Structure 1
């Protein structure tokens, strides 16, 4: 018999929720049944899985999932929920039952099989009941009153507040608008806690605590989401071709991947760039990508990083990766460059070669993503994934304009809003064909983000600053303070 569960998510990065969950389910080959269609306005899913083991595999990876409970009862009011639980003790069927004459919508109310409750009633099992609310605060007195309402449950074991054998969870959901909280909850839930998600990783790997970071270091939560969508597993070989300060390598190594990186920025890879932390004037000797891996106990899974120009790949054709996760430079906070020179017929003499530092030219975004997808088609194992960010102007977004390749299938596409004008999308591609054409149109997308960012976004900001300066300069009170006028 499949069991019914309540998956409770953090109400952040909502657009990434489905992509992360589907990646984890696919990675572990876990079947799922939706009792109701997931709604973006609700921070929970009601689903069925074959066993608790399936749930524990999911919670061992997800950073967007807060916790999961084995659902015993759901209703629109606490009164109906208690009625359902009392009837569940009389339920001799092994199936869920829709009660008659309930005071809530029938499809949203059910009675669980009796044996779910019986498993927690042994006198040798300690327990506790936890009360949680979403979008409303309860005092401790109110929580205790809610807990005492469950005194009819046939729980024979002792109450234990710290590390009990069984944790029962009562949740009241008041919507997602903190400025319009109703008097009564929209939904109430009760069941047995099964497992928590990996939310602790967000603080454990926070950039605030990390030794080495740069201007564009990836937020820890987003880095773990990327690793999940890339389906990184133990002993996987992974590459970040625009590695920067190595944040994505840290997340992938946590899940057991062996990580490799490359970047054209010599100074960043050698930790010689200007420090990004406020008040720090020089970098310490401990700051490096290797130092970050050592900090988190993942040094054994760190292969190395190399200085290289991605437009001129240095990897041999037979090398295959299990995953490629990366955040290419957009040309805004970090330059998007490749080796080259704009002068025609430029040559170097032999005397100049030993001390020559190659010149760089702009590496346009369509070329970056065209090269990236073609590289993934050649160097990914079949069935494995490329996960990358793609910046764009929001009002011009069209899915058909995204980068594409005949050997790759787009399996996930989530948006992170950056500003009123701009956003970036986390694109996940799966390799579906090993027969890579010798010559293929490298479709790197139709967006030229950098050009549009500065022509649409930055100009308007500059104009606002100039307008403010002009208004300030012509303000008589400001001029009087300077002594220009009386």
Structure 2
């Protein structure tokens, strides 16, 4: 089968393979991605044809382009030798087409003069077509990778050179269009546009699929899902974020991006008391649950349930029931973040279609993270964990797939067997110091 080179973006490296695997499944493309290396942006794969190559990366965010490989090697000489051996039979096919050459260098650079000299070394191809820098029929590209082989300050040397024909590009350029700095309506918790788009790809969002964000906020995941054709539904315990102010709301963003036809609706509600009926199924759930850092995580309810168990609804002096007034603010109680994650997995197991995906972001301490920190559910298969690292903590995009109901157990298990550990909020504000250090500093034993 023909060999192709995927030129990856050198950012969010732990997400790249997961995104490509999801897109391959979405496009029904069989591809071996075992050669992926987070250190390099070059990924060689074999595919059936050019159509598969284009479809594989046409909506990718962490891919720049894909090329048909004509030759490669660890030096320019080895590359030219491989081009003569591998691609000689196809040269005549492109003899009279208009074309241009590009040179891309990773961790290295060439001056314009050096690029011109490099391009002239391909004169043996005998191309007679017009050279067009704009809209040529074909683009031929030299891709180089440089590395330091010895000590850290050693000069970079060429370690890989590849020559190929451009096949297709990705959707990486849309990141700029969806940049939060250019968006009409955002809030303090609006999610990064690039990662929201990546989450939608990993969630297998496609035209006509119903996508739900139970912690919608200002609608970052809803907009990203709608870009890929998903029908977005959102909810939040705080309706003010969704409704917005000064004539700007989630709908303002849908107007900006002309995505009205992909907006289903939003509703105000506590996720732990979700009103979605049991027989309503979703194709994907993509969300960033509240960590409780800015303020403690809370849900509807009373702290002292026993004390108020028999309490009747409050009736005002004019006879109105307090909870029916438009300005009524329901009481809230603290809630454990891990408990919220377990509730989220239980909800996903009930409402996702078979093979539907749950993509949720969870915060973790870098030093204390372990497999026990990843929640599990018997009806959900853990597919991947992608990491975005900060200083002492990280946030991880955890992806699950709903097991086919014909193969899973007949009863959905509601509770997780894991024990709830210390709140992430507490760890965050003490700088993720170890508990014994905190106790020692305070004089407690």
Q: Do both proteins adopt the same fold according to a TM-score greater than 0.5, normalized to the shorter chain? A: yes
Among 421, 426, 436, the residue aligned to 1:451: 426
Among 395, 403, 428, the residue aligned to 2:399: 428
Pair 226,443 (structure 1): closer, same or farther in 2 beyond 3 Å:
farther
Contact 2:108 2:156 (8 Å CA) reproduced: no
Among 432, 440, 446, the residue aligned to 2:414: 440
Contact 1:264 1:309 (8 Å CA) reproduced: yes
Contact 1:234 1:255 (8 Å CA) reproduced: yes
1:376 and 1:408 map into 2 onto residues whose CA distance is 8
Pair 176,320 (structure 1): closer, same or farther in 2 beyond 3 Å:
farther
Pair 196,179 (structure 1): closer, same or farther in 2 beyond 3 Å:
farther
Contact 1:404 1:445 (8 Å CA) reproduced: no
Counterpart for residue 348 of structure 1: 313
Displacement of 1:181 in angstroms is: 6.3
Task: Tell whether 2:218 aligns with 1:245.
Answer: yes
Counterpart for residue 360 of structure 1: 332
Displacement of 1:335 in angstroms is: 4.7
Counterpart for residue 315 of structure 1: 276
Counterpart for residue 119 of structure 1: 93
Counterpart for residue 4 of structure 1: 3
Residue ranges of structure 1 left out of the alignment (5+ in a row):
89-111, 273-283, 464-486
Contact 2:105 2:143 (8 Å CA) reproduced: yes
2:419 and 2:62 map into 1 onto residues whose CA distance is 29
Pair 315,267 (structure 1): closer, same or farther in 2 beyond 3 Å:
same
Task: Tell whether 2:293 aligns with 1:332.
Answer: yes
Q: Give the match's secondary structure for 1:174.
A: strand
TM-score, L = length of structure 2: 0.89
1:392 and 1:438 map into 2 onto residues whose CA distance is 27
1:65 and 1:176 map into 2 onto residues whose CA distance is 24
Q: Give the match's secondary structure for 2:211.
A: strand
Counterpart for residue 386 of structure 1: 358
Q: Give the match's secondary structure for 1:118.
A: helix
Contact 1:173 1:185 (8 Å CA) reproduced: yes
Among 57, 77, 88, the residue aligned to 2:75: 77
Among 56, 59, 62, the residue aligned to 2:60: 62
Counterpart for residue 141 of structure 1: 113
Residue ranges of structure 2 left out of the alignment (5+ in a row):
317-321, 439-445
1:445 and 1:270 map into 2 onto residues whose CA distance is 37
Pair 371,444 (structure 1): closer, same or farther in 2 beyond 3 Å:
farther
1:309-338 per-position Cα deviation (integer Å, ceiling 9, x unaligned): 001010111100010000000001365221
Contact 1:402 1:446 (8 Å CA) reproduced: no
Pair 407,85 (structure 1): closer, same or farther in 2 beyond 3 Å:
same
For residues 19-34 of structure 1, what are the structure 2 equivalents within 5 Å?
A: 19-33=18-32
**What's the RMSD between the two structures over aligned residues?**
2.2
Contact 1:260 1:302 (8 Å CA) reproduced: yes
Select the structure of larger CA radius of gyration.
Answer: 1
2:395 and 2:410 map into 1 onto residues whose CA distance is 28
Task: Tell whether 2:170 aligns with 1:193.
Answer: no
Pair 230,181 (structure 1): closer, same or farther in 2 beyond 3 Å:
farther
User: Which is worse superposed, 251-260 or 439-448?
Assistant: 439-448
Equivalent residues, number = 420
1:221-247 per-position Cα deviation (integer Å, ceiling 9, x unaligned): 100110011000110011000001000
2:154 and 2:38 map into 1 onto residues whose CA distance is 18
Displacement of 1:57 in angstroms is: 1.1
Q: Give the match's secondary structure for 2:158.
A: coil
1:376 and 1:23 map into 2 onto residues whose CA distance is 19
1:129-177 per-position Cα deviation (integer Å, ceiling 9, x unaligned): 1111111121111111111111111212111111100100001101389
1:288 and 1:458 map into 2 onto residues whose CA distance is 39
Q: Give the match's secondary structure for 1:115.
A: helix
Pair 171,63 (structure 1): closer, same or farther in 2 beyond 3 Å:
same
2:89 and 2:143 map into 1 onto residues whose CA distance is 22
Counterpart for residue 154 of structure 1: 126
Contact 1:41 1:176 (8 Å CA) reproduced: no
